[in-house]
Amino acid sequence: MPYSFPQGFVWGTATAAHQVEGNNVASDFWMLEHAPGTLFREPSGDAVDHFHRYPQDIAMIRQLGFGAYRFSVEWARIEPVEGYFSIAALDHYRRMIASCHEHGVKPCVTFHHFTSPLWFTLDGGWEDRANVDRFLRFCERTVRHLGDLIDTAYTINEANLSATLQVAGVFPPGGLKSVAGFVGEAAKRYGSTPERIGPFLLGDPMKLRDTMLEAHVRARDVIKSGPGSFPVGVTLAMQDFQALPGGEAHVARARAESWDPFLEAAREDDFVGVQTYSRSRFDANGPMGPEPGVPVLIMGYEFWPEALEGTVRYAAKTANVPIHVTENGIGTTDDAQRIDYERRALAALVKCMRDGIDVRGYFYWSLMDNFEWLFGYGPEFGLVAVDRTTQRRRPKPSADWLGAIARSNTFPD
């Protein structure tokens, strides 16, 4: 039987400022991408020049059939130097949001998506809880400028990411900076120290987790006390943790350390954003590699679209608030594989919804092929391909496939 999604179900696609805008020169990642010995495969450079091309990109979102756009505002542009807020940068994002409204696309705004101003990261960054106040000041200033036009807000994207990668055995304890010398070396060149530099993703996972948890809770209240009235939540990185016999205690610990503190905090939020790409398996010895026979994607994890079912169920049960799937997708050069992934992931989501789980929206990651952090431009997550010399956009067959589902608000049998 075909499944009709509830009326008002939100279909969108997502990006993040640093991954698409280009030339985010006051940010910490820009510096780290260019540092000697960097682990970044290549620098972000012009990215896909979304900073200038957002009007046509937002028009394209509507043409493809989507009704919402999740994107981030860039703190490093808005506050490039501590305490100096650029009204031109805030106006830029105001125009972007207005452009969404013009095209009938809901503007869904992430306040922090990985990147921070360089000055912030050199001075403790996300490892220092005293820095939460600096983030709140940015949130307050930004919501004051934009709040009346926002549809949905996310405080921090994947606030638990480093913690989740550590418990899954992908990151070492202490985080990437404990093994990647270039971070500490770069810190020294900029007058900081290896101990003091605290970038998202590369810093100490458990310190980042604790700071971000506090930052989320307090930012939610700051954002809610600004103009406008819209739902606010956090988004979480949730690879489905699966236990083989003997692995149950490891899974319980992994959830307790990287998901539960945020899901418990989310009980006071309007929703929780679930972001799932694959699964991680555990046996009695802890995290395991991919299962033989299951394809491994360019990101290093398994092709496992059904992962979304386990994560949505767990998030809904623990947080007991509506679920927004704020990211789900696949990095692949084979667009037929993307359609296959989407078909299976949506089937998994429909199972949850048929069981009564309150899911309000689905955002495909990503609108366009873009800068995939340490992996550079290798993984192609987009529904739309971009020639980065001419900046021409070309929708892929998967864009039409998913757009048709979004338009009809129905999942075929």
Q: Residue 98 CB, nearest distance to ligand GCO (Å)?
A: 25
- Calpha distance 337→185 (Å, rounded): 41
Per CB under 6 A, 16 contacts ligand GCO = yes
Per CB under 6 A, 157 contacts ligand GCO = yes
Say which DSSP state 27 is in. B
Q: Residue 205 CB, nearest distance to ligand GCO (Å)?
A: 14
Q: Residue 183 CB, nearest distance to ligand GCO (Å)?
A: 18
Amino acid sitting at position 118: L
Q: How many residues bind ligand GCO (CB under 6 A)?
A: 10
HEC secondary structure over 123-145: CCHHHCHHHHHHHHHHHHHHHHH
Tell me the three state secondary structure of residue 7.
coil
Beta partners for 411? Answer: 3
Q: Which of 108, 213, 237, 348 binds ligand GCO (CB under 6 A)?
A: 237
- Calpha distance 241→318 (Å, rounded): 15
- Calpha distance 269→42 (Å, rounded): 37
- Calpha distance 335→347 (Å, rounded): 18
Residues 268-287 close enough to bind ligand GCO by CB under 6 A: 275
Q: Is the peptide bond before 366 cis (omega within 30 degrees of 0)?
A: yes
Q: Residue 118 CB, nearest distance to ligand GCO (Å)?
A: 19
C-beta atoms surrounding 98 within 10 Å: 14
Per CB under 6 A, 327 contacts ligand GCO = yes
CB closest to ligand GCO, residue no: 16
Q: Residue 373 CB, nearest distance to ligand GCO (Å)?
A: 6
Binding mask 123-142 toward ligand GCO (x if CB under 6 A, else -) reads --------------------
Tell me the three state secondary structure of residue 152.
strand
Per CB under 6 A, 365 contacts ligand GCO = yes
Q: Using alpha carbons, list the distances in angstroms from residue 325 to 72, 115, 155.
A: 16, 22, 15
Nearer to ligand GCO, 38 or 332 (CB): 332
Residues 368-397 close enough to bind ligand GCO by CB under 6 A: 372, 381
Nearer to ligand GCO, 118 or 237 (CB): 237
Q: Residue 131 CB, nearest distance to ligand GCO (Å)?
A: 21
Q: Which of 33, 158, 342, 369 binds ligand GCO (CB under 6 A)?
A: 158
Q: Residue 87 CB, nearest distance to ligand GCO (Å)?
A: 27
Per CB under 6 A, 311 contacts ligand GCO = no
Q: Residue 376 CB, nearest distance to ligand GCO (Å)?
A: 12
- Calpha distance 56→52 (Å, rounded): 9
Say which DSSP state 188 is in. H
- Calpha distance 193→167 (Å, rounded): 26
Sites of contact with ligand GCO (CB under 6 A): 16, 19, 157-158, 237, 275, 327, 365, 372, 381
